[in-house]
Amino acid sequence: MCCHNVLEYDDDNRLTLSPLHQAWLDNHSRSLGLFVDGKCIRPADRQSRSLADSKGGNLCSTVCAVEDDVSQCASSAVKGHKAWGDLSCHQRAKVLLRSASALGQHGTCVSELCELCEVSCSPSSLIRLLQYYSSWAQLRDALVPDWTPLGVLSSDLFLLGNSVIVVPGRSRAPPTLLLAQLFTGAGLPAGALNVLTGSDMSLCARVAQNANIGYVAYSGNKQDGVLLCKSTAGMGIPVSVSPNIGARCPFIIFESADIDSAVDAVIEAAFKKKREVHWVLCVQESVVDSVVARLGLRMAGMKCVALHSDGDRGLVDAAVRDAQQQGATLIQSCAAPSSGAQYPPTVLCGAAPSSPFVVNPSPGPLLPLMTFRSNTEAVVLGNHSPHGQAASIWTEDLTLALETAKSLSVGSVWVNSHSVSDPCLPVSGHKDSGTCTDGGQEVCTTICDFFTSPRSIPVSTPVLVFLPSSSLLPSYMLPPSSPISAPKVYLQFVGGKPCKSVSGCSVAVQSPGGASVLAYCPDGGRKDVRNAVEAAVKVQPSWMKKSPSARAQSLYSLSKGLEAKRRDIAGSINVQTGLSMDEADKEVELSIARLSDWAAYCDKVQGGSPALPQSGSALSLPGALGVVGVVLPDESPLLSMVTLLGAAIGNGNAVVMVPSEKYPLPALALIQVLQSSDLPAGLVNIITGSRDQLTVALATHSVIKAIWYWGSAEGCQYLQYTCTSPLKTLRLSCQKEDGGKDWTWSHPSLLEEMWRSAVQWKSVWIPTA
């Protein structure tokens, strides 16, 4: 039974079981099995191992998988690979988003179980991870259009259509099994994600040696990673190792730092967070007395930290004795108890880089403190480690921070912060801290290239084919278009509200053959454009300041709203353009997927720090244009609108849109979706009327920063001539010359060009000595 079957709610939608993790464990009789083919199984005649909680009590037991279980799991993964790989990328993205939603719904249960198992993982970080990689799953077709999944992987990269076998560590088994149940309940096909638990590293080796495995990724301690590499040597299977447990990381405090903030941060990092790394405090000599005094004050009254076993207590006692024999002084929050698996937070002042308790740190709450004189010596201390995972630098001198960050041989450097991560930023392990890189656009693109194999299809084949989602209704289930007894009166959309034009005039919208009047639309003019720009100017700065992930979620919300109204909008396309209901519904489906594409792009253009020929550093930062005027084409009236709309607002711009003068109804039908979305009022404005008249109004408005125009050759010429004072960024397309753009074509270079046309770049130069 999955977690969502255990978690029950009362009439007020409040959880009735507390704590939630206890209910989930009790549902499994506190005896956890394997997760194979979409369900939990507990094979007979298997050994099991008990798992203690953070307080030393018996939490549960886990099964030790054998060779037969590995074979069964691999067979399940092969079937899951086909089911998962056959889904379109849009469908896989939706499954990952539903998984994120399920994780948010049951985040309390996951958090409680992780806390009890002493696993350093928060549901919020997992949700962000799922959201980020769902966007890459959405873009899979656009990045490499003709592809097939590679096969069965023992890694966490199943967004591309590969199936995955996860072999968690002993303490991570319960949370991993819970997540597998949640994700399968959210729609992940059976067999796409499998979990095997075992007693030692030999299980990992047996899984890696299975003939169906195509790639192995390992995360844990270095010793086991080395064993895995040796056991798979000569098999031709790529293996990436990320030994992120037990690494030594420098925490460097310069004299120019905010000492109070730095001391608070090092106490939090070393003593209050789950410790998967060992921090080494490096302090500049001129401020060491101040830092030591503040450490004594901040640590006063802190409670003892629980250790895993009495054996760990013996290692801690030995390290402290060794430090004192070498002349180190102690700062402790309280006296150490005479016995027991606990020890007070302790700072070992006066440590040397070669001290045994620094080179081979014990598992307890010990923080060595070393001093340095110059900036160069700080870098030497920071690099005096076989590990290169991360470092934290504390200084208010930005030049010093960047110089030090460039000189440290680590994968992540945090300036005036620590332990911050996001999947959109690439993280690499240097030296002994790994052979793989996670996160970031460049890495995801590399992953896409590696974990897929191209089909034997000519490059000239149409690039993007959106398969219908599970909610797509067959054409015979769609309501037939009925004749309109009386023309409908539409309103335009300004400042987040439907409204009439300032003039009060309307224009008739003709049927495809011109035999009848379908509707009446406002005849907008210069004053309507003025009102729309005023509304856009008010909201655009705050929209631009939103995080890319927040803008992405708004676009995903807009996509869901469009899907909810797909019948009505497909009907408006059918009535307005004369397309069949099947063709109209396909345009709506493509529009839904296109909005999801743009949502996925939101946090992919992050700028960077290019290499410079001279000493120094530079940052390239993408920024919004401001208010963009968009004159829409006649072709694919809905798809062209959402394509240009998503590219503009996804980058932080506000828009004033002029729908096709010939086919305005699909754009006006979208107003209902915009009203129900979480986009701020005034961000999107839609004004109907004469294309030429509204183009003149957009061109002569001084606040509009860019105009994207699809129209006549005369209109293009007018804009080029007029938009010179002030200068406007122009994107012009003559419909007569290009014969009408194929908006269903989604070549990655085309989408990339359109996306980047909505961005302006700022270069920040940071000189160094």
pLDDT value of position 742: 78
Task: Assign 160 to helix, strand or coil.
Answer: coil
pLDDT score of 40 more than 80:
yes
Q: Is the pTM of this model over 0.75?
A: no
The yes-or-no verdict on residue 263 having pLDDT over 50 is yes
pLDDT of residue 673: 93
As a whole number of Å, the end-to-end CA separation of the chain is 63
Task: Say which DSSP state 724 is in.
Answer: B
∠ CA 60-61-66, rounded to 5°:
160
Res 616 pLDDT > 70:
no
**Pairing mode, strands 247-253 and 390-394:** parallel
pLDDT at 410 over 70: yes
Q: What's the pLDDT band for 37 if we cut at 50, 70, 90? A: very high
The share of the chain scoring above pLDDT 70, in percent, equals 82
pLDDT of residue 767: 56
Highest mean pLDDT among 177-181, 446-450, 618-622: 177-181
> What is d(CA 196, CA 207) in angstroms, rounded to the nearest whole number?
9
Q: How confident is the model at residue 348 (pLDDT cuts 50, 70, 90)?
A: very high
Half-sphere exposure of 540 (CA within 13 A, CB side): 25
Cross-strand pairs, 711: 734
Q: What is the pLDDT of residues 443-477, one digit of tens each?
A: 554 445 444 443 322 222 222 222 223 333 333 23
Measured CA distances, 645 to 170, 540, 593, 715 (Å)? 49, 14, 13, 21
Tell me the pLDDT band of 285, cut-offs 50, 70 and 90: very high
Would you say residue 747 has pLDDT above 80?
no
Q: Which residue has the higher pLDDT, 233 or 146?
A: 233
Q: Range with the lowest mean pLDDT among 53-67, 448-462, 598-612?
A: 448-462
Instruction: Report the pLDDT averaged over residues 231-238.
Output: 67
Q: Which of 340, 343, 277 is nearest to 305 (CA)?
A: 343
What pLDDT does 329 receive? Answer: 92
Cβ atoms 490, 500 nearer than 8 A? no
Predicted confidence at residue 764, as pLDDT, reads 54
476-490 residue pLDDT tens: 233 334 444 478 888
Is the pLDDT reported for residue 168 higher than 90? no
SS3 615: coil
Q: How far apart are CA 391 and CA 412, in angstroms?
A: 6
Question: Residue 453: its pLDDT value, please?
Answer: 42
pLDDT at residue number 759: 85
Surface-to-core class of residue 22, CB atoms within 10 Å of its CB (0-12 exposed, 13-18 middle, 19+ buried): middle
pLDDT at 466: 24
**What confidence score (pLDDT) does residue 129 get?**
86
Can you give the C-alpha Rg of the chain in angstroms? 30
Q: What is the pLDDT of residue 458?
A: 27
Residue-by-residue DSSP string for 730-766? EEEEEHHHH----TT---HHHHHHHHHTTEEEEEEEE
pLDDT of residue 143: 57
**Could you give the CA distance from residue 62 to residue 68 in angstroms, rounded to a whole number?**
17
Is the pLDDT at 364 greater than 90, yes or no?
Answer: no
Most confident of 11-25, 148-162, 357-371: 357-371
User: What pLDDT does 142 receive?
Assistant: 60
Per-residue confidence at 236, pLDDT binned at 50, 70, 90? low
Asked whether residue 215 carries a pLDDT value surpassing 60, the answer given is yes
Residues 413-434 have a mean pLDDT of 77
- Residue-level pLDDT at 469: 31
Residue 132 confidence (pLDDT) above 60? yes
At 149 the pLDDT is 45
3-state secondary structure of 394: strand
Q: 595: buried, middle or exposed (CB in 10 Å: 19+, 13-18, 0-12)?
A: buried
Instruction: Give per-residue pLDDT as tens, 504-553.
Output: 888 888 888 777 888 899 999 999 999 999 999 999 999 998 998 899 99
Q: What is the pLDDT of residue 492?
A: 93
As a whole number, mean pLDDT of residues 222-238 equals 72
In the chain, the amino acid numbered 142 is: A
Considering only residues 140 and 292, tell me which one the structure prediction assigns the higher pLDDT. 292
User: For position 2, what pLDDT does the model report?
Assistant: 46
- Paired with 667 in beta bridges are none
| d(C-alpha 254, C-alpha 492), whole Å | 59
* Mean pLDDT score of the chain: 81
| pLDDT interval class at 161 (50, 70, 90) | low
Structure tokens at 472: 């797509």
- pLDDT tens string 312-339: 889 999 999 999 998 899 999 888 888 8
pLDDT range class, residue 54, cuts 50, 70, 90: low
CA distance 525 to 147: 49
What is the rounded average pLDDT of the residues 275-291?
91
Minimum mean pLDDT range among 102-106, 496-500, 757-761: 757-761
- Dig out the tokens for 225 from the structure: 């990673």
CA-wise closest residue to 566 among 679, 687, 666: 666
SS (H, E, C) 411-470: CEEEECCCCCCCCCCCEECEECCCCCEECCHHHHHHHHHHCEEECCCCCCCCCCCCCCCC
Lowest mean pLDDT among 63-67, 116-120, 447-451, 755-759: 447-451
